[in-house]
Amino acid sequence: MGDVAAGARSGSDGEEFRGRTADGAVTVSSESDAAEDGTVTEHNQSAQQDTGKPSQEEKKPRSFWKELPILIGIALVLALLIKTFLVQAFSIPSDSMQNTLQRGDRVLVDKLTPWFGSEPGRGEVVVFHDPDNWLAGEPTASPNPLQRILSTIGLMPSAEEKDLIKRVIGVGGDTVECEGTGPVKVNGHPLYEPYVYPGNTPCSYDDQGGQFKVTVPPGYVWVMGDHRQNSRDSRYNQNDRHHGMVPVKDVVGRAIVRAWPITRWGTLPVPDTFDQPGLDQQGTTASSAAALTVAPGAVALSATVPLVLWRRRRTWHTDGGRGSGTTAAGSR
């Protein structure tokens, strides 16, 4: 009777499973009981996982101070790349470009456009490597180790490189001449040069090179300083192997911005006199350079900030998504 009654109750709950023990008693179980036991076990396991130690996915992102060295490293690498391929700062060591540039000014030089075949144009202020010992006898700066490192990566102007800065007057195919005190003529057209240092004449009346008439060969430029009576430029180097010309391959780039001191900040555009009709009879055109107005260090830093913010935001979203997934699994 007891066995039959137990079987009836089991049948009402689900399919029964019968068996006999060693003493002959009947044992009864059901799928519903097994399912309920399994469910409880699953919940218990989930609860243990929820109350246990947090997983790696739930760890907080590294603090800003831990990421700061990474930020600085990225900024330094970007500064080096910017200095090498985009823009470089130079310090003005002399008075040969007054009053356009003063001694101690800092200029930013575009180094990008030459990579795409752009050549110096008339009227541009350019930085170039010493073509043939033009700086003989000039004092050389002696920067300390820290200055060397900062100038190498582009965070300080170059101090010990043998570079010069002048204005391009003639390009390949041009005929440039000076007679008397001026004006300077290019392809027979006189130049109006308001940028020449006050009190100076456009041409220097001397027998050392101030009086000349030259034709610039292809691949070269003729340069002169704005402080005409205080500039050792193409005029006074006509006895070198390039006859005073500067090879285009030695041009570092165009000075596009006077960046320091801040009170003298401004761009260095091509004067209007170089756009006069008929001057460009040789078919050459002045190159145009994009005005990059930010120092390499600032560009590098501004480029890394969005990168770090994106990385931190991505980490936050990833952690948030994993947290939601864990909660949903627990609900099941």
Q: Is 277 exposed, middle or buried (0-12, 13-18, 19+ CB in 10 A)?
A: exposed
Active site residue 83: no
For residues 151 and 168, is the Cβ–Cβ distance under 8 A?
A: no
Which one is catalytic: 83, 111, 166, 185?
A: 166
Residues 54, 91: Cα–Cα separation, whole Å: 56
For residues 164 and 131, is the Cβ–Cβ distance under 8 A?
A: no
Pair of tokens at residue 270: 């091509």
Alpha helices in the chain (DSSP H): 2-13, 31-51, 64-85, 145-153, 296-331
- The string of DSSP letters for 256-315 reads EEEEESGGG-EE-PPPGGGG-TTTTTTS----------S-HHHHHHHHHHHHHHHHHHHH
Give the chain's radius of gyration (CA, Å). 39
Which one is catalytic: 10, 83, 91, 96?
A: 96
Active site residue 166: yes
Which residues carry out catalysis?
96, 166
